[in-house]
Amino acid sequence: MHAIDYRAADTYAVGDVEVARWEQFALGDLLPFGAMWYEVAPGASSPVDCHPERELSLVVSGTALVHAGGESVEVAQGSAFVLEPDEDHTVRNLSDERPLVVFSVYWMACDDAPVSLAGQVAHA
Amino acid sequence: MHAIDYRAADTYAVGDVEVARWEQFALGDLLPFGAMWYEVAPGASSPVDCHPERELSLVVSGTALVHAGGESVEVAQGSAFVLEPDEDHTVRNLSDERPLVVFSVYWMACDDAPVSLAGQVAHA
């Protein structure tokens, strides 16, 4: 068993967000995905983010207002959201008093890789 | 974006544990791993579990006492633990008043698949 302590994690700032990536725990090839916690300051929002990885996020503390794919969805503590590859997204902390904490895992989906299909042009 | 509401999930009982597996959300091949929430009743412990999948768990609410691999580790709300393949484990709720909620993802690790190595006998 490996225990990973959120409170002992080193973080770095991205705008109003403190990010704690799991690379710091030197787990090697243990996980087939990246992982991180991030904390959005009270009343703040994450900068617009967009990446080729699919991402599963779980709200650890607080309530998030997630803007992505042309919609805005409120995600309560304990609930989750999945972001598609290349989907612009921001995550707002709906509390003006307490930080919003989110845990995410992210990975390159095999079906997002360029493939050649008969009669179709592969996307680069 | 897909939002997955913990409070709307169907659960089933395994001993003193209520399990909400993500198969019910019909996400298809969206995730390269299985996912679930489980809730351990106040003062209770999960039955001994053991499976070939590696498992990453995050404590969503409460504090867990995790027994696995011959050790016992207290895991606080927001923190995580990774269970190795075929590692017997139980998860105890340290509160006598509130449920313990854990979110887990689990997958078959490629390096756990049977392989033939020179001079070694592959495990079935």
Contact B106, B34 (CB under 8 A): yes
Structure tokens, A51: 């990446």
Q: Do A109 and B58 touch (CB under 8 A)?
A: no
d(CA B59, CA A13): 24
Dist CA A94 CA A100 (whole Å): 8
Structure tokens that stand for B5 in this block: 């509401």
CB contact under 8 A, A78 and B61: yes
Which of B56, B73, B90 is best to mutate for the A interface (most A CBs within 10 A)? B56
Strand A34-40 to A17-21 pairing: antiparallel
- Of the candidates B6, B31, B1, which has an alpha carbon nearest to the alpha carbon of residue A49? B1
pLDDT digits (tens, 9 = 90+) for B19-65: 999 999 999 989 999 999 999 999 999 999 999 999 999 999 999 99
Whether the full predicted model's pTM is greater than 0.95, yes or no, is no
Q: What is the tens place of the pLDDT at every residue in A84-110?
A: 999 999 999 999 999 999 999 999 987
CA distance B98 to chain A (A): 15
| Tokens read off for A11 | 């973080």
> Using one digit for the tens of pLDDT, what is the confidence trace for A39-85?
999 999 999 999 999 999 999 999 999 999 899 999 999 999 999 99
* Facing B4 at nearest CB: one of A31, A81, A111: A81
Are the beta carbons of A77 and B60 separated by less than 8 Å? yes
* Burial of residue B8, with CB atoms counted within 10 A of its CB: 0-12 exposed, 13-18 middle, 19 or more buried: exposed
- Residue B50 CA to residue A52 CA, distance in Å, equals 34
CA distances from B61 to A51, A56, A97, A105, B26 (A): 30, 19, 20, 19, 25
Q: Which residues of A touch B6 (CB under 8 A)?
A: 76, 78-80
